[in-house]
Chains A and B, each alone.
Chain A
Amino acid sequence: MSMAPNQPLTVLKPADYGTDQDVRWCPGCGDYSILAQMKKVLARLGADRSKTVFISGIGCSSRFPYYMNTYGFHSIHGRAPTFATGLSLARPDLTIWMVTGDGDALSIGGNHFMHVIRRNVNIKVLLFNNRIYGLTKGQYSPTSEQGKKTKSSPMGSPEFPIRPISIAIAAEATFAARAVDVDIKHLEYVLERAARHVGTAFVEIYQNCNIFNDGAYDYATDKATRSDNIVYLEHGKPLVFGKNADKGIRLNAMNPEIVDLKTVSKDDLLIHDEKTPEPNLAFLLSRMRMPDFPEPLGVFRDIQKPVYGDLVHEQITQAVKLRGEGDLQSLVTGTETWTVE
């Protein structure tokens, strides 16, 4: 490829990361905000479009790659982690973002979701959790609340929901975080943290489906009530929340409890630590759920662990060191031969 030496380095703007395709999400969908913040983060990081890949499964969220002017792969339902794993193994030089939803990742793709995290494959996983099946027009999902009335559960869903971050942590996630679609500054912060993590970075994004599950996250987005309903996690800081920062989370034996800061000192509050070697704190935080507790947003966990692809390639390097680069003729010849005159 020829270089143009006299031209200044191109600095890409957020819009440069978008394609010319018409975005086909419903007007008002939370996905628009996530798309916009994603472009901003890539521009800020100066991401190389040719070395960035978006991989998705099936569902509304999984249309995401078509709108990013990078390499992209819209794959099959639930299997995005498998394509991402293979690509990451073949091409450790790439930055791979995987986009999935609550049905895609936790229902049909539950198995792969667990294993990609367990292996610590070097990819970023964004799970758009709208707690509903949108593309198939409104059936309950694995994160829908029990009793949810949908077309496939007219009498209310009899199923218990699972919590994506609990699953990720149980699968030994090295990075787990949560953000909300319309809290754009915080979303941008979380996406950037994920981008900088080495290993599987899992991000749950609360995303409003204004057609089939509108208002599912009003408690976390409504300006009047949100400060009482969410708590921002900051590494090394106590868990304080409330409109007037007047409430906190304290540990009582193994359980969190809400305390009033008028009567309890901040020093007695639970201090967030993203780096604990054991994930118990992150798991405990992932269990905090409305209406009993404010729901944590931010980075639950961020630790370093060897990356799957590195370990695999290290074995190849080791094998070459021990046995020399493979020679095809000696391979096909083998060790036991005989000659026919």
Chain B
Amino acid sequence: MSVISDPQGLGGQLRAGKKSVTSLPSVTVRFAGDSGDGMQLAGSQFTDTSAAIGNDISTLPDFPAEIRAPAGTLAGVSGYQIHFSSTEIFTPGDDVDALVAMNPAALKANVRSVRDGGIVIVDDDSFGPNDLRKAGYEQSPLDDGSLAKYRVVRVPVDKLTLAATKDSGLGLKDSNRCKNMFALGLVYWLYGRPLELTLDHIAKKFAKKPAVAMANTLALKAGFNYGETTELFHEQYQVPKARLAPGRYRKITGNEAMAMGMIAAAQLSGKNLVYCSYPITPASDILHNLASEKHFGVTTFQAEDEIAAIGAAIGASFGGALGCSGTSGPGVALKSEGMALAVMTELPLVVIDVQRGGPSTGLPTKTEQADLLQVLFGRNGECPVAVIAAMSPSDCFHAAIEAFTIAMKYMTPVVLLSDGYIANGAEPWLIPDVSKLPRIVVPQPIAPTDGKPFQPYKRDESLVRPWAIPGMPGMEHRIGGLEKQDVTGAVSYDPANHEHMVHTRAAKIAGIKPAGEDLHLTGPDKGDLLLVGWGGTFGAIKAATLQLRAAGAAVSAVQLRYLNPMPQSIGDLMKNFRQVLVPELNLGQLRMLLRARFLVDAKGLNKVRGQPFTITEIVRAAMALLPTSNS
């Protein structure tokens, strides 16, 4: 990383200090501790503050599936990584510049991510023989020289937090819980961040517990002042504001954006949103977010299981509402039969799959992209659905609107793929002007006037049947899972009709014309190497591509947002490149589709470690395929 010394002109955000200040273009910090240590809170507060002072940000919360795994063990380590920058960034950062490790387990699990020469702040009070044993250290890594390539800063966080909070009146245990604020305060000082936003947060959160508010405030300030007054740090760092597109910004996670996109779709179409879900990591926050926005007329239904959730969503759609069911991979497996019914009955439905590591229960809190083939093909019969994959946290907003638009316009289930990484990760979002969002117009069905029965499967030019709903007189009809005669909707076992209907359902999905951009291209449309990604890997692939191009390589990247129907143009585009590399967080699911569909000899970069790609991983894989003169 290049370091720009710029001690002048930085004083604005910094308190008058006596230490030198170094300006950096971007920094990656990771907070790590026990899952009860409040690391997620420290990380999200650091993120909020960094966003508010104008940095570009990208985050990676990384926590265990267990709510309270045994304290001090590797299984219980919870981390939160923040990449904040003065330039535009697309990922939560490859290498960590500063790690906060609240115990030996947190150190052991995270220190490999720290760059050489990076800062490692440890809670010196948590490195007793017992703590070391629980983390599997034979001897203290603080003393054996194994951390020599880092700048280790030993801080007695427990003792200092206790001393700082003694006037709050809290007991030992409660005071100790403020040590995340001490650590946060120290890192705030290190990077010259203001405390105000977090002080406000503490005051609001603990408005009814003044002693707790006071203790957290004292701990935060003590951490900051500790950096200022001790000799442990000789310099401070500064990351100036990013030059983002002008406008008003907020911080957003994928799950927040998803919930907002759904509410927006309801408003834009004038329909009621009925969100039906069974609690499942990492999708539950969508349910939580919607349940707290009932004043938008949103109905949320916490079902008895995944099957009930999709059944209720389909029932709501049958009644003319926007039925949606959100889940993760194991839930999709349970919803398969319901999705097939919605295909057969041709009802609008959105199924959100926030992917996580699988198979089975797998890695509930970690990310993966291994549900692509499940959502495309994991049902009985020829059962096509539209599939969209959101590409970033904020893209979930637009993807949700688009999923509902397609569902209603084409009377079909739409699977909207997200993943644990973009669902929980945060980024700045240029707040959209909602008055500019296009209305979603749904055609009104017309009752027959000739006294004949209504024809529920009479199709328009896009092969779409009418959405006649109970309460519309003269259009009474019956639908269901049995094969139906086209046009009339009567139960039919006629072989010719079945073949016709199978082809018709396929043709309807194949003919979907999305409103958005077909392909998201980085770089020119021809060259040596094309990277083809889909969904949440967008940021890492784009950043890698820009880096390779800056080094002179003829590399471009394309990100697919529409997986079904897949844009035909991707086939033509791949022909313009000598090589195609498909980075995916699975064993090659999109690659298999591209090879089958376009007969292209695509190579794969595949990772299934529960973690997103780093930029370096993609750059290295790309370089291996490039002509040597370019690398």
Contact between chains at A333 and B316 (CB < 8 Å): no
Q: B451 in the interface, Cβ–Cβ < 8 Å?
A: no
Q: Which of A1-55 contact B (CB under 8 A)?
A: 1, 19-21, 48-53, 55
Q: How far is the CB of A284 from chain B (nearest CB, A)?
A: 28
- Interface segment, A76-84, A183-191, A218-226, A296-304? A76-84
- Interface segment, A144-152, A198-206, A262-270, A317-325? A317-325
- Additional pairs, 13, CB under 8 Å, beyond known A79-B307, A340-B241: A1-B473, A50-B473, A72-B478, A74-B478, A74-B479, A85-B315, A90-B299, A90-B319, A112-B307, A328-B267, A336-B48, A336-B251, A338-B250
Contact between chains at B490 and A339 (CB < 8 Å): no
Q: Which among B294, B298, B317 has the highest number of chain A CB atoms within 10 Å?
A: B294
| Chain A neighbourhood of B54, CB < 8 A | 338, 340
Q: Which among B263, B319, B472 has the highest number of chain A CB atoms within 10 Å?
A: B319
Q: Which of B605-631 contact A (CB under 8 A)?
A: none
Distance of A88 Cα from B482 Cα, bound (Å):
23
| Chain B neighbourhood of A322, CB < 8 A | 295
Q: A94 in the interface, Cβ–Cβ < 8 Å?
A: yes
Distance of A221 Cα from B305 Cα, bound (Å):
39
Q: How far is the CB of A20 from chain B (nearest CB, A)?
A: 7
Distance of A332 Cα from B313 Cα, bound (Å):
25
Q: A170 in the interface, Cβ–Cβ < 8 Å?
A: no
Distance of A91 Cα from B453 Cα, bound (Å):
24
Distance of A48 Cα from B476 Cα, bound (Å):
11
Q: A241 in the interface, Cβ–Cβ < 8 Å?
A: no
Distance of A268 Cα from B241 Cα, bound (Å):
88
Distance of A323 Cα from B481 Cα, bound (Å):
42
Task: Give a binary string over A125-155; 1 marks a CB under 8 Å from any B CB, 0 the rest.
Answer: 0000000000000000000000000000000
Q: B65 in the interface, Cβ–Cβ < 8 Å?
A: no
Contacting residue for A50 out of B295, B435, B453, B470, CB 8 A: B470
Contact between chains at B315 and A71 (CB < 8 Å): no
Q: Which residue of A lies closest to B340 (CB)?
A: A76
| Chain A neighbourhood of B314, CB < 8 A | 75, 83, 86
Contact between chains at B301 and A316 (CB < 8 Å): no
Q: How far is the CB of A42 from chain B (nearest CB, A)?
A: 13
Q: Which residue of A lies closest to B481 (CB)?
A: A76
| Chain B neighbourhood of A58, CB < 8 A | 481
Contact between chains at B482 and A341 (CB < 8 Å): no
Using C-beta atoms within 8 Å of the partner chain, give the interface range for chain B. 35 or more
Interface residues in chain B, defined as those with a beta carbon under 8 Å from any beta carbon in chain A: 48, 51-54, 197, 241-251, 260, 263-264, 267, 272, 274, 276, 293-299, 301, 303-305, 307-321, 323, 337-338, 341, 345, 397, 431-435, 447, 453, 469-482, 490-491
Distance of A114 Cα from B304 Cα, bound (Å):
10
Distance of A101 Cα from B248 Cα, bound (Å):
58
| Chain B neighbourhood of A73, CB < 8 A | 315, 318, 345, 478-480
Contact between chains at B248 and A337 (CB < 8 Å): yes
Contact between chains at A320 and B295 (CB < 8 Å): yes
Q: Which among B242, B251, B301, B309 has the highest number of chain A CB atoms within 10 Å?
A: B301
Q: How far is the CB of B527 from chain A (nearest CB, A)?
A: 33
Distance of A117 Cα from B295 Cα, bound (Å):
28
| Chain B neighbourhood of A85, CB < 8 A | 301, 308, 311-312, 315
Query: Which 10 residue pairs spanning A and B have beta carbons closest together?
Result: A82-B311, A74-B480, A86-B315, A86-B312, A326-B296, A72-B478, A83-B315, A319-B294, A90-B321, A87-B315
| Chain A neighbourhood of B52, CB < 8 A | 336, 338
| Chain A neighbourhood of B246, CB < 8 A | 340-341
Contact between chains at B250 and A337 (CB < 8 Å): yes
